[in-house]
Amino acid sequence: MKQAHSILLVLADRSLFPLIASYQSGLFRDVIPLFKAWEARSMPTKIASMRSFLVQAMSAPLLVLHSVIATDDAHLVDRIFRCTGAKSATALDFAAKVGALNVVCYLHATGHGCSTRAMDYAAQNGHAEVLRFLHEHRSEGCSRDAMDFAAQNGHMDVVQYLHDVVGVAGTAKALDWAARNGHIDVLRFLHPRRSEGCTAYAMDYAAQNGHLEVVELLHGYGAPCSAAALDMAAANGHIHVVRFLHEHRTEGATVRALDNAARGGHLPVVIFLHDHRPEGGSTDAIDSAAAHGHDDVVAYLLAHRRDGWTVRAVDAAAVHGYVPILERLFRADAARAVCSPRGLLHVVQVAQMESLTWLLACVPESLAAVADGLMERAITHDRIEVVDALWSAGFYAGVTPSWLQLAEKTGHEAIVFYLSRLN
């Protein structure tokens, strides 16, 4: 009787059944929803997750494991390991990448390995606590990428730790990328302490992104640059950078400076370049300004420069409905302000009615020369409003059988009805 009582006490122990169940195969109940949710995802999502999770195989246990690592839930990570037996060579690297410090500590304590990428990723993403743990408890170390990417992303505390404690060097990319992204504190820290220096990339791309303080600092350091610095600053409308480079540097610029400033609609930059720089521009200036609807830039260039334009300016303005620009080009040179046949076909195809109305009123002869092709294009693309406008212009003696056949073939019943009434 005493033995039976002892057996009952054991069987009634609340901790016994979970212990027995933990040795059975299969998924724990709290893990099952994670697998179901993963299976419901689309294949493109799974493929994208493989790359971001640092997983090399389309394995549900691995992908679920890494998705949980990203939540920094060490307890749940442990349960997935226990019920799936998953083996991941990149688990610790990935945990460091996403800053999952609790999981990093767990994986380290349970004997998982990592590579130099663990510290590299932690540095790149600014996970200073993870970086510190790995440096103090692991021996894999990091590569020069750690410093380069930490500098690129402006993680000043990480940059300082890597230099002062880890003692790792970067490359010229550290200063180059920090300059490009405007991280002036990183530049001020690294420049006097490191010997890797920077390349012309640093000032060129700081100029492109409008980081005037960085450009000034690099200039003070004697850093190099190229003509691309002024070109790219002009293209993005950074007038203060353009002015500084013009006044303090000798690398100059190219015609791309004015051309691309015009493309971006940066009139103050266009005016500055015209007044102060010798490089000039090309026909691309008016062509691209017209294509992007920058009427004020087109007006200035027509009034102050003699670079001219090509048919691309007229075609693009017409296709996009920039009638004021069409009018401006026409006033400047009526003989040249004529769309190409290809441009006219595009106007008809997209049913740009404002431009078509202007063209019919001001340069009808250019449309008359290709009237048959325009009507066929309008019918093909079901542009009944264009069909009506072209017919009303008086270009045609009558409806041709081929028009009706084309409308019927393409299934545009409204146009079939319209043309039939004309007959």
388-410: pLDDT as tens digits: 999 999 999 999 999 999 999 99
* Cβ neighbours, 10 Å, residue 323: 18
- Residue 216 falls inside a structural domain: yes
- Residue 271 falls inside a structural domain: yes
Q: How far is Cα 284 from Cα 179, in angstroms, rounded to an integer?
A: 30
For residue 67, CA distances in Å to 50, 365, 387 come to: 10, 66, 57
Q: pLDDT value at position 218?
A: 98
- Residue 119 falls inside a structural domain: no
Q: How far is Cα 267 from Cα 297, in angstroms, rounded to an integer?
A: 6
- Residue 376 falls inside a structural domain: no
CA 270 centroid distance within chain: 26
Task: Give me the residues of the chain with pLDDT under 70, please.
Answer: 1-26
Q: Whole domain around residue 210: which residue ranges?
A: 199-281
Q: Give the DSSP H/E element, type plus range, for residue 223.
A: none
Q: pLDDT value at position 58?
A: 82
- Number of domains comprising the chain: 1
- Residue 151 falls inside a structural domain: no
- State the Cα angle at 111 between 158 and 88, rounded to 5°: 80
Task: Tell me which DSSP letter residue 95 carries.
Answer: H
Cβ atoms of residues 321 and 355 within 8 Å: yes
Residue type (1 letter), 293: G
CATH number at residue 277: 1.25.40.20
pLDDT in tens, 69-108: 999 999 999 999 998 888 899 999 999 999 999 999 999 9
Cβ atoms of residues 320 and 345 within 8 Å: no
Q: How far is Cα 145 from Cα 170, in angstroms, rounded to an integer?
A: 7
Q: Is 141 buried (19+), middle (13-18) or exposed (0-12) by CB count in 10 A?
A: middle
- Residue 159 falls inside a structural domain: no
- State the Cα angle at 415 between 409 and 420, rounded to 5°: 95
User: What is the pTM for the complete model shown?
Assistant: 0.87
State both tokens at 235.
Answer: 């293209």
Q: How far is Cα 245 from Cα 236, in angstroms, rounded to an integer?
A: 14
- Residue 207 falls inside a structural domain: yes
Q: Give the DSSP H/E element, type plus range, for residue 116.
A: helix 116-124
The DSSP string of 306-338 is: -----HHHHHHHHHHT-HHHHHHHHHH-TTT--
- Residue 170 falls inside a structural domain: no
